[in-house]
Amino acid sequence: MKQTMGISTSDFQFLRELVYKHSAVVLHADKTYLAELYLQPIAESAGFATIADLVNYLKTQPFSSLHSQVIESLVTNETSFFRDYHPFEALKKYVLPELIDKKAIERSLNIWCAACSHGQEPYSIAMLIKEHFPILANWSVKIIASDFSSKVLARARQGRYNQLEIQRGLPKNLRDRYFQQLDRDWQIHEEILQMVEFRQINLIQSWPYFPKSDAIFLRNVLIYFDIPTKKALLKKIKQQLSPDGYLFLGNAETTINLDASFKRVQFDKAICYRLNN
The reported pLDDT for the residue numbered 78 is 74
Instruction: Give pLDDT tens digits along the chain (277 positions).
Output: 344 457 888 899 999 888 888 887 888 777 788 788 888 888 988 899 888 999 999 999 988 889 988 888 888 677 899 999 999 999 999 999 999 999 999 999 999 999 999 999 999 999 999 999 999 999 999 999 999 888 899 999 999 999 999 999 999 999 999 999 998 999 999 999 999 999 999 998 899 999 999 999 999 999 889 999 999 999 999 999 999 999 999 999 999 999 999 999 999 999 999 999 7
121-136: burial string, b at 16+ Cβ within 10 Å, e else:
bbbbbbbbbbeebeeb
**Rounded distance between C-alpha atoms, residue 187 and residue 82, angstroms:** 17
Domain boundaries, the chain: 9-74, 86-275
**Rounded distance between C-alpha atoms, residue 143 and residue 140, angstroms:** 10
Identify whether the C-beta of residue 178 lies closer than 8 Å to the C-beta of residue 104. Answer: no
The reported pLDDT for the residue numbered 224 is 86
The reported pLDDT for the residue numbered 5 is 53
Fold (topology level) of 86-275: Rossmann fold (3.40.50)
Identify whether the C-beta of residue 113 lies closer than 8 Å to the C-beta of residue 144. Answer: yes
Query: How far, in Å, are 123, 142, 261 from residue 116 at the CA level?
Result: 10, 15, 25
Cβ-Cβ contacts under 8 Å for 103 (sequence gap 6 or more): 109, 214
Same-fold call for 9-74 versus 86-275: no
The reported pLDDT for the residue numbered 1 is 32
Identify whether the C-beta of residue 147 lies closer than 8 Å to the C-beta of residue 153. Answer: yes
With both helix axes pointing from N to C terminus, report the angle between 9-23 and 51-60 in degrees, rounded to the nearest 10. Answer: 50
* DSSP 3-state of 183: coil
Query: How far, in Å, are 31, 38, 226 from residue 34 at the CA level?
Result: 5, 6, 20
In CATH terms, 9-74 corresponds, of 1.10.3470, 1.25.10, 1.10.155, 1.10.620, to 1.10.155
Dmax (CA) for the chain in angstroms is 68
**Rounded distance between C-alpha atoms, residue 182 and residue 47, angstroms:** 34
